[in-house]
């Protein structure tokens, strides 16, 4: 029996499609890599479950559809073959049309099936729901050529399985149309059920992925938070062992590393503090001796006075170094405290410049900043201004201006110079201890030890502010050191 199928073909092939798919895939992978790890884990759960549920749903739907259709078609083929044999036995050359109509009406057909009989040029059918005009032309030609045939197609938007068997001895053919709408409704309900189940399973997998990613990434998040806390100076941070045996070794190693780091830093801090304190006594003796020698300077020969000047300069520099080291050690051991007071920032800057600089430095202040009052430590802020002005004097020929500008929730104090500026790769390292930059030897005849800007950063950080270096906004050569202080700090 011929199984008639409508031909299907593709006209032409687009050679650009693989290239477009490759570009789309590359863009999709690039976007996926920018997602957070937790999001990628959840999406992996969702996509995997969606793929599996879709594959399972399609398989179940296809198998169920095939089984239902095969069962209905096998029953229809058996019935059609039996009815065709009955018609073949009952046909005779002298049979009347009324008898043929009764014959078709009395055939044992399944419920809903529609028989159609052609004898010569006459058609007989007991129902007008399926008539001879509803028989597919290709199917009819195949049957009339002497070959049994079958076909599934729709008639007035209803699915039918139509079987045709030729009866050659009487120039007749028998057709029987079996409706498939019940199977179509069953498959529609099954599709909705499978889609709903797949959606529910996908949502459940998203929740499972969220729970699993949270549980898997929780130790990593704890380690990140602990590392961030340690980076901000809280060396007492430790990780809890937890109930996962696989993470005990990692937790113990991390805690041991932090303990070793804390001990090492504590030893270094104690060493620097003790050395600084031990240096004060001989330094005081040396300073007193130099002062006594300066009182008898007129009695010394020329070469001795030159040596005394060099000694005085180095002792003074050494004294500043020891004081800076002691101040740094207070920050390291955590004993630095703020002596808070409320005052006007503009007045503080003017007094600090007048007390620390021998040259007149122009101060520019916008009207909003002129009225700003902060709660801060006067001594430390004066030292900040002093160190920035001295830094400009040592390395850039002096400060060219000080600018005060009001910002949201804070105020900026900027010190500008006309020196060679600071390279981009040095603008963060220049606030490190004992860092003077590659151009330190070029900026002035007198160089410091590299603790001035480090103390500025520590003082500003203690006030919960920020300090940074940038280019001058007017485009001229030079550097601009900016201190930002919160208005309500701390």
43 and 105 housed in the same domain: yes
Query: What's the confidence (pLDDT) of residue 413?
Result: 92
Q: What angle do CA 104, 177, 109 make, to 5 degrees?
A: 50
Q: Is residue 459 part of a domain?
A: yes
Closest CA relative to residue 240, chosen from 254, 228, 227: 254
Q: Under DSSP, is residue 345 helix (H, G, I), strand (E, B) or coil?
A: helix
Q: What angle do CA 407, 410, 416 make, to 5 degrees?
A: 70
Query: What's the confidence (pLDDT) of residue 87?
Result: 84
CATH of the domain at 86: 3.30.450.20
Q: What sign does the dihedral 181-186-187-193 (CA atoms) show? A: positive
47 and 90 housed in the same domain: yes
The answer to whether 381 touches 408, Cβ cutoff 8 Å, is no
Closest CA relative to residue 76, chosen from 192, 170, 175, 166: 175
120 and 70 housed in the same domain: yes
305 and 362 housed in the same domain: no
Query: What's the confidence (pLDDT) of residue 414?
Result: 93
327 and 277 housed in the same domain: yes
* Distance from C-alpha of 131 to C-alpha of 177, rounded to nearest angstrom: 10
- Residue carrying structure tokens 């909705």: 192
Query: What's the confidence (pLDDT) of residue 242?
Result: 64
Determine the distance from the C-alpha atom of residue 359 to the mean position of all C-alpha atoms in its chain, rounded to a whole number. 53
Q: Buried b vs exposed e over 339-366: b needs ≥16 C-beta within 10 Å?
A: eeeeeebbebbbebbeebbeeebeeebe
Q: Under DSSP, is residue 190 helix (H, G, I), strand (E, B) or coil?
A: helix
Q: Is residue 218 part of a domain?
A: no
The one-character DSSP state at 93 is T
Cβ-in-10-Å burial (0-12, 13-18, 19+) of 274 comes to exposed
Closest CA relative to residue 114, chosen from 158, 170, 66: 158
Enclosing H/E stretch for 159: strand 158-167
Domain that holds residue 101: 31-186
| Helix 97-105 × helix 37-90 angle, to 10° | 140
435 and 315 housed in the same domain: no
Q: Is residue 17 part of a domain?
A: no
> How many other β-carbons are positioned within 10 Å of the β-carbon of residue 66?
10
Q: Is residue 7 part of a domain?
A: no
Residue 490: partners with Cβ closer than 8 Å, 6 or more residues away: 338, 340, 375, 376, 462, 463, 464
72 and 115 housed in the same domain: yes
Is the entire prediction scored with pTM above 0.75? no
Domain boundary among 294, 318, 333: 333
Main-chain dihedrals φ then ψ at residue 232, nearest 5 degrees: -90, 5
Main-chain dihedrals φ then ψ at residue 2, nearest 5 degrees: -75, 135
Q: What angle do CA 76, 80, 84 make, to 5 degrees?
A: 175
Q: Is residue 236 part of a domain?
A: no
DSSP string, 401-463: EEEEEEETTEEEEEEEE-SS---GGGTTGGGSTT---TTHHHH-SS---S-HHHHHHHHHHHT
CATH of the domain at 356: 3.30.565.10
Structure tokens at 133: 């005009």
Q: Is residue 24 part of a domain?
A: no
Determine the distance from the C-alpha atom of residue 366 to the mean position of all C-alpha atoms in its chain, rounded to a whole number. 41
152 and 178 housed in the same domain: yes
Enclosing H/E stretch for 137: helix 137-144
| Helix 37-90 × helix 181-231 angle, to 10° | 170
Enclosing H/E stretch for 149: strand 149-155
Closest CA relative to residue 214, chosen from 38, 48, 33, 46: 38
Q: Is residue 119 part of a domain?
A: yes
The answer to whether 177 touches 160, Cβ cutoff 8 Å, is yes
Q: Is residue 282 part of a domain?
A: yes
The one-character DSSP state at 170 is G
324 and 299 housed in the same domain: yes
363 and 306 housed in the same domain: no
Structural domain count of the chain: 3
322 and 458 housed in the same domain: no
* Distance from C-alpha of 246 to C-alpha of 223, rounded to nearest angstrom: 15
353 and 456 housed in the same domain: yes
* Distance from C-alpha of 29 to C-alpha of 13, rounded to nearest angstrom: 27
CATH of the domain at 301: 1.10.287.130
Regions of the chain with pLDDT less than 50: 5-13, 441-445, 489-490
Domain boundary among 283, 312, 333: 333
Domain boundary among 333, 353, 372: 333
Structure tokens at 369: 């900043």
* Distance from C-alpha of 415 to C-alpha of 412, rounded to nearest angstrom: 10
- Residue carrying structure tokens 């055939």: 107
């Amino acid at each position: 029996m011929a199984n008639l199928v409508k031909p299907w073909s593709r006209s032409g092939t687009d050679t650009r499609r693989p290239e477009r798919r490759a570009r789309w895939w590359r863009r999709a992978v690039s976007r996926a890599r920018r997602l957070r790890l937790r999001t990628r884990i959840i999406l992996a759960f969702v996509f995997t479950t969606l793929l599996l549920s879709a594959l399972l749903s399609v398989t179940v739907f296809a198998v169920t559809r095939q089984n239902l259709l095969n069962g209905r078609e096998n029953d229809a083929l058996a019935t059609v073959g039996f009815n065709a044999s009955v018609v073949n036995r009952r046909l005779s050359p002298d049979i009347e049309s009324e008898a043929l109509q009764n014959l078709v009406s009395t055939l044992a057909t399944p419920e809903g099936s529609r028989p159609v009989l052609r004898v010569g040029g006459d058609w007989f059918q007991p129902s007008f729901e399926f008539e001879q005009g509803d028989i597919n032309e290709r199917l009819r030609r195949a049957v009339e050529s002497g070959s049994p045939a079958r076909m599934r197609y729709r008639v007035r938007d209803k699915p039918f399985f139509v079987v045709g068997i030729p009866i050659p001895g009487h120039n007749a053919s028998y057709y029987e149309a079996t409706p498939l709408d019940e199977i179509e409704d069953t498959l529609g309900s099954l599709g909705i059920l499978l889609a709903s189940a797949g959606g529910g399973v996908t949502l459940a997998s998203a929740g499972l992925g969220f729970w699993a990613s949270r549980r898997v990434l929780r130790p990593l998040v704890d380690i990140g938070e602990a590392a961030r806390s340690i980076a901000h100076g809280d060396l007492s941070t430790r990780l809890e062992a937890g109930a996962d045996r696989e993470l005990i070794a990692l937790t113990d190693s991390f805690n041991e590393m932090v303990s070793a780091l804390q001990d090492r830093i504590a030893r270094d801090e104690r060493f620097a503090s003790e050395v600084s304190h031990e240096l004060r006594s001989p330094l005081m003796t040396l300073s007193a001796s130099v002062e006594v020698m300066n009182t008898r300077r007129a009695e010394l020969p020329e070469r001795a006075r030159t040596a005394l000047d060099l000694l005085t300069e180095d002792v003074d520099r050494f004294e500043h170094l020891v004081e800076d080291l002691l101040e740094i050690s207070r920050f390291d051991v955590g004993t630095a405290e703020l002596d808070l007071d409320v005052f006007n920032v503009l007045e503080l800057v003017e007094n600090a410049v007048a007390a620390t600089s021998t040259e007149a430095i122009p101060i520019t202040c916008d009207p909003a900043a002129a009225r700003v009052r902060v709660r801060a430590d006067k001594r430390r802020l004066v030292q900040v201004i002093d160190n920035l002005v001295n830094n400009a004097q040592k390395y850039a020929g002096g400060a060219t201006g000080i600018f005060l500008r009001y910002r949201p929730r804070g105020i900026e104090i900027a010190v500008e110079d006309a020196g060679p500026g600071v390279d981009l790769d040095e603008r963060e390292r220049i606030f490190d201890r004992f860092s003077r930059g590659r151009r330190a030897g070029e900026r002035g005849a007198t160089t410091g030890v590299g603790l001035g800007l480090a103390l500025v950063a520590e003082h500003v950080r203690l006030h919960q502010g920020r300090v940074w270096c940038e280019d001058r906004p007017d485009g001229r050569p030079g550097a601009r050191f900016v201190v930002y202080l919160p208005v309500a700090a701390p």
